[in-house]
Structure 1
């Protein structure tokens, strides 16, 4: 039977209390206070950028953006205080490398951004949201390093890009690209030449094709990418397709969003 020396037990308890007290020392509390201010600023930026996405009905909103910005700030900011790690009682001097943390953050945020990109036929959605999530993470890194002025400017530029540039894009000369999906009854589908001429009559050139045939449904499916060649009539096209006897169903949508 092993006996515990009373004096040894008291010494171990005292050392444990000293270790725990080191995490609540004045120096540690000051460091935590600085980190808290960083996190509060990051949360405000994330909520601000996320509200723009929430307002436009996107899946990634205020909570996602706030969490991304706060996490990026936290993982970057703690690298500025290596002497305070583990209650300031590291066995050997700690050398931090924020660039390695930043590299890992950018890689991880890339996977998160890829998750909000959706491809439906020729239509791609979520690219702007993915880019803004990546930018929010970068702003969080800047806040964590301590460049507050740069972070504010980056936030203002990001908000301008997400809110104002959409209207500017519509105002500037540009080409309109649409994705058209048409399902024809078997044997009634038009030829490629006829379909091209039909689309040109509505003001569109056919850029790309995709064919699909269903033997079970006896239907022929066209997937087209259309680009406006001048004045175009999407409303008239929709009315004509809805009234065509050979068309089973159709879908017309922007090819990017």
Structure 2
């Protein structure tokens, strides 16, 4: 590669940085684990590797006499998207019944794909993909804010076994919001002195969550509870 060719190599990398930054900014703003720097690096690495694959003819290696070199950049794209899966898995975690981080993992996967597109020199496609991705992350979030604010809630309640009525009262309070066929988990903790019930509730508004919280606090024998709205 000569100095005259350098601008042609740099432009895809700069486009990938801008694209990854635009997507990562939204995730950073939402306080997600993978934010601005992570998305920029994913996009930049994808573009860099794709550029290297596209320009395989410039690699420093000696071909055998009479051999014909056939470049297949698609193999690099497959490798990048397979490898990014391990990074995406790192931002997905489970809390109770809920799975969190799926949107961030999808944004990382999309960022890698956009980086590959820029690395292949398809600038128009990369710009459109970036605009659509940001629109989905930001626009649909704003649209959902105008909808009734309800969330599926993961609930966990603990009570002392010496208060047998506490469990029945807690179940009664939760019954109004329990999802049909909801899977319940039961755990005996604190050396057998405390019982814990966990289950998923139906969609609830903020006022309903606050009301259920007040009911659980008023039950004699309940030692703790947790109401966690799902938010990816």
> What is the TM-score of this pair, normalised by structure 1?
0.79
SS of 2:33's partner is coil
Residue 209 (1) aligns with residue 184 (2): yes
Residue 141 (1) aligns with residue 116 (2): yes
The equivalent position to 2:63 in structure 1, one of 61, 69, 91, is: 91
Distance change >3 Å, CA 34–CA 237, structure 1 → 2: same
The equivalent position to 2:77 in structure 1, one of 102, 117, 127, is: 102
Residue 233 (1) aligns with residue 182 (2): no
Q: CA offsets per residue over residues 103-155 of structure 1, 9 Å max, x none?
A: 11111111100100111111221111001000000000111111111111111
Q: Is the 8 A contact 2:50 2:116 kept in 1?
A: yes
Q: CA offsets per residue over residues 26-77 of structure 1, 9 Å max, x none?
A: x533443312111111111111111111111112111111110011001111
Equivalent residue, structure 2, for 1:49: 23
Distance change >3 Å, CA 121–CA 229, structure 1 → 2: closer
Range 167-176 or range 100-109, more displaced: 167-176
- Structure 2, gaps ≥5 residues long: none
Q: Is the 8 A contact 1:38 1:73 kept in 2?
A: yes
Q: Is the 8 A contact 2:160 2:222 kept in 1?
A: yes
- Structure 1, gaps ≥5 residues long: 1-26
Higher relative contact order (CA 8 A, sep 6+): 2
Q: Is the 8 A contact 1:76 1:141 kept in 2?
A: yes
SS of 2:32's partner is coil
How do residues 151-190 of structure 1 correspond to structure 2 at under 5 angstroms? 151-169=126-144, 171=146, 176-189=151-164
Q: Distance in 2 between matches of 1:210 and 1:225?
A: 10
Q: Is the 8 A contact 1:114 1:130 kept in 2?
A: yes
Q: Is the 8 A contact 1:183 1:248 kept in 2?
A: yes
Q: Is the 8 A contact 1:35 1:78 kept in 2?
A: no
Distance change >3 Å, CA 29–CA 94, structure 1 → 2: farther
SS of 2:183's partner is strand
**How large is the RMSD of aligned CA atoms in angstroms?**
2.6
Q: Distance in 1 between matches of 2:54 and 2:198?
A: 54
Larger Rg, first or second structure (1 or 2)? 1
SS of 1:222's partner is strand
SS of 2:31's partner is coil
Aligned residues: 228
Equivalent residue, structure 1, for 2:219: 244
